[in-house]
Each structure stands twice: as structure tokens, then as C-alpha cells.
Amino acid sequence: MTMNTGEQTDSSPDRRSLIAMAVTIVLWASAFAGIRAGLAAYRPGHLVLLRFLTASVVLGVYAAATRMPLPRPRDVPAVLVLGFLGITVYHTALTYGEQTVTAGAASLLIAAAPIFTALLARVFLRERIGVRGWLGIAVSFGGIFLIALGEGGGLHLNQQAFLILLAAAATSLYFVFQKPFLRRYEPLQFTAYILWGGTLFMLAFLPGFCRVVATAPRDATIAVVYMGLFPGAVAYVTWTYAQSRMQASTATCFLYLTPVTAILIAWLWLRELPSGLSLLGGLLALAGVVVVNTRRRK
């Protein structure tokens, strides 16, 4: 299961990177239904704790079986900070925020993450995205705006919207500042370190956790465990692998396809027909990603 990045490249994505990104997008898109099912029985804090305890245990078993090395002592503080930002803050803020913010508004706010990432990558990683790249981001963002109008009850915002925006900012910082570590660690190794670090901070939600798990309906618990195994452990490994072979700004542009995929899954699985605006938005989001990945590079 070990995935070796080989020579790191920031050029156009290769086939392996695109396959890894596709797996990531499909699994992250499937998590929306799992969150809805889990929140029916779990409080947000208990939900994220169960989800990432599951992911941490699975990766812990793999690490023990393969004798995975621990991170270098000098990297431990950075791993804890990145785990706190990318796992603890992102998932906790997003889950609490989605209790009251409409799905459409939440998707639009989260869509700010690729924009934040591109700006941060320009400053800290010296990544150049160019006019064509920004045009692609703008087109994709416009597509997400149309999807937000067509799905999820509109764009009604309240004070909880700040939590969604906080989640977008936190994950952007994580995407950018994990990049240098992907030159020293394999994707699976670094994913394990990040998930363990993020889960450590989630232990703050431990009071009452065991009682809730014991009394929760089986379907809700299965949904949360699924999110830990697949949108959690597996998708973070494939995402880290893909990002190790792309620019951070390029990789995050693919995230505009997540709500598009979520709509497709809901259509095929739940027979939820998308609106005309959502279909148009999905086409625009796809077009923007294509523009970003066909731009000229020096």
C-alpha cells in the first residue's frame, strides 16, 4: 500500500496523480451524505472524534504491521500544527457550521479555499498561476455559485458562516505548508502523522463520547465509521499523493469538482434530480478546472 512519489514535479498532472485526485474527490463528495446521517445521532464534536479515531486506528494498525518510522523529532511541532489546522480546525468548524448554514452557502464559502491556497502558495511557495490560471479559478468559483443557488435551500448566512470560512482558511494553510514535508516523507506516512496529530486535539470531545456511541443508532455509527475509513484515511492518502506531484494551487482547483461529484452521486444513488442551475454550475466548475490545467507554464 506504500505509495512512493518518485521525482516530485509541479508540471501538468500525470495519470497517477489524476487517478489519485479522482479517488479523493469521489470519496470526499460521498462524505456529505455521511455527515447528514451522523448528525442525526451525534453532536458535531463526537462525530469528528469517532470519524478520526477510526482513521487513526486503521493507519496505526498499518503502521505497526509495516514498522512505519515515526516523524523526525524536529518535524513533530510542525506536524502537530498542520494536524490541528487541516484536521481538527477544518472538520470541527465545518461540522459545527453546517448545523445552521445552508448547504448552498456552505459550499460557496468552502469554495474560497482554492483562492486562499493560490494566494498563500504565491507568497510562501513562489508558485506562479498566471492570468489563465486565475481565469480558471474564477470560472470554477462562478460554477460553484450557481450550484449554491440551485441546491441546499439558498444562500442564507448567519454567524455560523464564520466557522465555514474559518474551515476554508485552515485547510488552505494546511495545503500550502504541508508541501515542503512531502519532499521528505512518503504520502501515506505523512498522512498518518497528520491524522494522528489532528485526532490528538479532538480528544477534547471525549467527555460523554462512549455513552453516545453505545446508544447511537447503528446506521448513524456505520456512516461515521465509513467517513473515517474512506473519506478520512483513504482519501487523505490519495490527496497527499496527488498534491506531492502538483503545485498546491493546481491541486486545490480540483476541489471545485467535489460539489459537482456530490450532485452526481445524489442523482445516481438517491435519485435526487439536480436543478438546471446546478447542471450549468457543474459544467462551469469543470470548465474552470480544465482551463487551470491547460494553462501555459514556463
pLDDT digits over 35-69, tens only?
878 888 999 999 999 999 999 999 999 999 999 99
Give pTM, 2 decimals.
Answer: 0.85
Say if 39 falls within a structural domain. yes
Q: What are phi and psi of 11, to 5 degrees?
A: -85, -165
Whole-number average pLDDT of the chain: 85
Say if 103 falls within a structural domain. yes
Tell me the C-alpha distance between 90 and 113, whole Å.
Answer: 11
pLDDT of residue 141: 84
Alpha-carbon distances, residue 102 vs 2, 45, 97, 151 (angstroms): 39, 19, 9, 9
Say if 12 falls within a structural domain. no
Say if 120 falls within a structural domain. yes
Range of the domain at 200: 29-293
Taking only the tens place, the pLDDT of each residue in 141-154 is 888 787 777 665 55
Say if 15 falls within a structural domain. no
Number of domains in the chain: 1
Taking only the tens place, the pLDDT of each residue in 10-26 is 456 788 999 999 999 99
Say if 7 falls within a structural domain. no
Say if 14 falls within a structural domain. no
pLDDT of residue 158: 64
Q: Is residue 8's pLDDT more than 50?
A: no
Say if 242 falls within a structural domain. yes
Higher pLDDT, 124 or 294: 124
Looking only at Cα atoms, what is the longest distance across the chain? 58
Alpha-carbon distances, residue 82 vs 106, 172, 181, 199, 260 (angstroms): 23, 11, 11, 12, 28
